């Protein structure tokens, strides 16, 4: 966000080497308009909070394709880990049961993230985010 803005500003400055009052007013209005547009199209490039809704610009179809496998993947990974633990530790039904359930939870979490119901985890604390 900041990078792009700076680049734009730099370009603006270069363009206004000999600024007249009229041009300055025009570019101020342009910037104002850009700011207001940016507020409306918050899903536009780099204006969005990438951590929070990364899927807003994915086409609906792409999202549909994603939804279909996210749940399955979570369950599969849970079952796989449970199976491995059972094999190593010899706790035959237990590991599978626990990890299958956890995997199911992870799958549901995946689906909800894909659908945009739950925000993605970010490395920044929430108060630092916009």
Cβ atoms 82, 100 nearer than 8 A = yes
The interface mask with another protein, positions 100-129, x = CB under 8 A, is --xx-xxx-xx--x------xxxxxxx-xx
Options 38, 66, 85, 91; binder of another protein; rule CB under 8 A:
66
Cβ atoms 49, 129 nearer than 8 A = yes
Tell which phi-psi region holds residue 119, choosing left (phi > 0), alpha (psi between -120 and 50) or beta. Answer: beta
Q: Return the DSSP state at 38.
A: H
Cβ atoms 96, 120 nearer than 8 A = no
Options 10, 25, 30, 72; binder of another protein; rule CB under 8 A:
72
* Chain residues in the site for another protein (CB under 8 A): 1, 3-4, 43-46, 48-51, 54-55, 57-59, 61-62, 65-66, 68-70, 72-74, 76-78, 81, 99, 102-103, 105-107, 109-110, 113, 120-126, 128-130
């Amino acid at each position: 966000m900041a990078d792009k803005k700076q680049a734009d500003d730099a370009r603006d400055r270069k363009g206004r080497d000999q600024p007249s009052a009229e041009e300055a007013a025009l570019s101020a209005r342009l910037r104002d308009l850009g700011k207001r547009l940016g507020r409306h199209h918050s899903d536009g490039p780099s204006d969005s909070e990438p951590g929070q809704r990364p899927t807003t610009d994915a086409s609906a179809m792409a999202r549909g394709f994603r939804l279909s496998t996210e749940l399955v993947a979570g369950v599969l990974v849970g079952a796989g880990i449970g199976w491995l633990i059972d094999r190593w530790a010899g706790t035959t039904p237990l590991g599978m049961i626990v990890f299958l359930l956890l995997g199911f939870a992870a799958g549901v979490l995946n689906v909800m993230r894909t659908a945009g119901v739950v925000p993605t985890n970010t490395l920044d604390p929430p108060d630092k985010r916009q």
